[in-house]
Amino acid sequence: MLLWKKVLGPVALISVSIFGFSAQSYAATITSQNDVEILALDGLKVNRKNSVDPNVLEVQAGRHQVVFRYYGEVRKGQRDVIYSTAPDVFTIDLKQDDSIKILAPRLNSYAQAEGYFRRGADWKVQDQHGNVKSVHYEPLTGNGIMPFNDIERAVARHNAEQGNEFAPAQQAAIKTPNIAAQKITPPKGDDTLIQTIQLLYNNASPAQKAKIKAWIAGQ
């Protein structure tokens, strides 16, 4: 899977081709094997449009957050299909002249890919000396239909919930309100609240519906 070259600060990413100037020299590089797609770096979407070199991400020395996924072709029955996963996130410290490559697992069939990721992937990176190590990662969670369509928003929400160094300052200070504890008094004869509850329930998963039923029973 192709990556896209960017000029990056520790928490900022600027496209050379968009702004039309050359910035300072950068110290480290992040790449990946085929079948691994990097979606975001340091909270910002990696965009292949207007790319200079579609294979390399150049970054400054320091700590970086990488959001990526498996996106590769596997065999399913008599045909080849694309198998993709939800994004995962890891952070890594890079020094001057460091170069890392995210390695892809060797997967041939759709069933093999399903089994591998169900058990939990062992994501590894290889450095410029050929040394390979596993990285600690966590899944990027999302809500609703196509939760990762706006990858920057999903990453910002994740970072705010984690309260980590990549969280925007304002978002990091915001705590998710306890909606269940709030009381709402709609105008008399207004069915909007009922319709909203019905919509949420109909779009909930079986586990979420069970929790909703249990909550109602306890009221």
Which residues, listed in sequence order, are joined to residue 124 by a DSSP beta bridge? 103, 134
Tell which residue, 135, 175, 134, 152, has the closest CA to residue 11.
152
Tell which residue, 127, 134, 129, 120, has the closest CA to residue 99.
127
Give the pLDDT score at 10. Answer: 43
- d(CA 105, CA 19) in angstroms, rounded, equals 36
| Residue at token pair 């410290």 | 93
Token pair recorded at residue 24: 């300072």
- d(CA 20, CA 15) in angstroms, rounded, equals 8
Answer yes or no: are the C-beta atoms of 15 and 5 closer than 8 Å: no
Give the pLDDT score at 22. Answer: 42
Give the pLDDT score at 6. Answer: 41
Enumerate residue ranges in the chain where pLDDT < 50.
1-23, 170-177, 179
User: For the whole prediction, is pTM greater than 0.85?
Assistant: no
